[in-house]
Chains A and B, each alone.
Chain A
Amino acid sequence: MDVLLPIARQQKAQAMTERLEGTFRLNLQPHHAIWMLLIFVFTVGAAQAQAPRELISPIDALVKWMPFILWGQEGTLNGFALNLMISFFAMLFGTIAGVTLGLMQISLLLPVRKGSWFVTQFFRNSPWLVLLFTIMLLFPFEIELGNMIIPVPDWMKAVIGFALPVMANISEVVRGAVRSLPTGQWESAESLAFSRRQTLWMIILPQCFKRMIPPWINWYCILAMATPLASIMGVEESVSYTAQAMNAEGDRPELLPVFYLFLLLIFFVYTYPIARWSIRLEKKFVVKT
Chain B
Amino acid sequence: MASPGKKANGWTPKQPMVSIKDLHKSFGDLEVLKGVSLEVMKGECICIIGPSGSGKSTLIRCVNALNDIQKGSIKVEGLEVNDPNLDKLELRKKVGMVFQQYNLFPHKTAIENIMMAPITVLKQDKDEVAKHAKSLVRKVRLEGKEDSYPGELSGGQQQRVAIARALAMNPDVMLFDEVTAALDPETVKEVLVTIQELAEEGMTCILVTHEMGFAKEVADHIYFTDRGVIVEHGPPKTFFKKAKDPRTKEFLSQIL
A residues less than 8 Å from B182 (CB atoms): 2
The winner among A3, A4, A5 for most chain B CB atoms within 10 A is: A4
Does chain A have a CB within 8 A of B40?
no
CB distance from A5 to the nearest CB of B (A): 8
**Which residue of B is nearest A8, CB measured?**
B106
Does chain B have a CB within 8 A of A286?
no
**Which residue of A is nearest B150, CB measured?**
A1
Does chain A have a CB within 8 A of B208?
no
B residues less than 8 Å from A5 (CB atoms): 151
With the chains together, A259 CA to B106 CA distance in Å? Answer: 52
A residues less than 8 Å from B150 (CB atoms): 1
Does chain A have a CB within 8 A of B135?
no
Interface hits, B152-182 → A, CB 8 Å? 158, 182
CB distance from A61 to the nearest CB of B (A): 58
Interface hits, A1-34 → B, CB 8 Å? 1-5
Interface residues on B, range: under 10
**Which residue of B is nearest A5, CB measured?**
B151
Does chain A have a CB within 8 A of B15?
no
CB distance from A8 to the nearest CB of B (A): 9
Interface hits, B103-139 → A, CB 8 Å? 103-104, 106
The winner among A1, A2, A4, A5 for most chain B CB atoms within 10 A is: A1
B residues less than 8 Å from A2 (CB atoms): 101, 182
Does chain A have a CB within 8 A of B102?
yes
With the chains together, A3 CA to B182 CA distance in Å? Answer: 12
With the chains together, A1 CA to B108 CA distance in Å? Answer: 12
With the chains together, A3 CA to B158 CA distance in Å? Answer: 14
A residues less than 8 Å from B158 (CB atoms): 1
With the chains together, A4 CA to B149 CA distance in Å? Answer: 14
B residues less than 8 Å from A4 (CB atoms): 106
With the chains together, A1 CA to B104 CA distance in Å? Answer: 6
With the chains together, A88 CA to B221 CA distance in Å? Answer: 76
CB distance from A63 to the nearest CB of B (A): 55
A residues less than 8 Å from B106 (CB atoms): 1, 4
CB distance from B159 to the nearest CB of A (A): 10
Interface hits, B212-250 → A, CB 8 Å? none
CB distance from A52 to the nearest CB of B (A): 62
With the chains together, A3 CA to B103 CA distance in Å? Answer: 9
CB distance from A166 to the nearest CB of B (A): 39
**Which residue of B is nearest A4, CB measured?**
B106
**Which residue of B is nearest A3, CB measured?**
B101
With the chains together, A2 CA to B150 CA distance in Å? Answer: 10
**Which residue of A is nearest B105, CB measured?**
A1
Interface hits, B69-104 → A, CB 8 Å? 101-104
With the chains together, A98 CA to B232 CA distance in Å? Answer: 71
CB distance from B149 to the nearest CB of A (A): 10
With the chains together, A3 CA to B99 CA distance in Å? Answer: 13
**Which residue of A is nearest B153, CB measured?**
A1
B residues less than 8 Å from A1 (CB atoms): 101-104, 106, 150-151, 158
With the chains together, A1 CA to B101 CA distance in Å? Answer: 6
With the chains together, A2 CA to B182 CA distance in Å? Answer: 10
Interface hits, B176-212 → A, CB 8 Å? 182
CB distance from A3 to the nearest CB of B (A): 6
B contact set with A: CB distance below 8 Å: 101-104, 106, 150-151, 158, 182
Q: List 6 A-B contacts (CB under 8 A).
A: A1-B103, A1-B104, A1-B151, A2-B101, A2-B182, A5-B151
Task: A1-B103, A2-B182, A5-B151 are known; give 7 further A-B pairs, CB within 8 A.
Answer: A1-B101, A1-B102, A1-B104, A1-B106, A1-B151, A1-B158, A4-B106
Nearest first, the 6 A-B pairs at minimum CB distance are A1-B102, A1-B104, A1-B150, A4-B106, A1-B106, A3-B101
